[in-house]
Structure 1
Amino acid sequence: MFVAVLTGQHTQREAAERWGVDRSTLITAPGSHVSLAGGAQACNVFWQVGSSATLDTTSAFKGNVLALTAITVNTNAVIEGRVLAQNAAVALDTNTITTANCTGPQLSITTPAAGHPTERSPGNWDR
């Protein structure tokens, strides 16, 4: 089992080529952050997770998280990229997610505080 636990600062130094990390579990410590250097862009960084991922409170994360099961993004974590879970939920709580689009305009989404659900299932989008 390979577990990536990020504390402090993690710097991606590759240029604009695609870069990936393949781990069974991804966990960030509170307040940790991922930095990109040398022309690297968040849209080209992929974190492939074989089970679940947790981005802890006030983490500043860059890249696309692709998890087989669930992803939990705790309070006030900020993401430049995407968080995609294949078999379970992506749980958000007062987060800011900005798409990492290398060539076009960026979309920013801010989630409401816990206790104010905006969750919709595919069957109730019209309600």
Structure 2
Amino acid sequence: MNAVCFLDEQHQKRYQMILKRLSTRNRVKPPFQAILFLATGNLQLMQLFSDYFFPETGEFFYQEMLAESIDDRMIDVERQLLVQLYNGRTTVTVIEIIDQLSPTDLKLALGAIQVRMFGTDEEAGRRQT
């Protein structure tokens, strides 16, 4: 397992619970691991995300999620980051992440970026160089 730092034991349990619902093929893909890591670390984001992500099929209706009106700027930045980590279809700047996220959510975002790069399983998620 890549040295991923979950926020707490509950975060790790939520992550594992949803990860196990993914197909074996999707379970080892860093984009799926990253969005699950980010979404399961913030309960408000997870609630929004769960309306648009279907683990059993791997479908993520990100355009519909982005179209939903949100007043909380922190959740807005995190949902944009979700889509960025999933498929690169949005642009979130480093300054937006730094300025809009609390220290805990910044740690969560940085962890998700790490997961996207390296995955959580060293054998399955390792990038070929």
Q: TM-score range, shorter-chain basis?
A: under 0.3
TM-score by length of 1: 0.27
Greater Rg, structure 1 or structure 2?
A: 1
Indicate the structure with greater helix content.
Answer: 2
TM-score (norm 2): 0.26
Higher strand share: 1
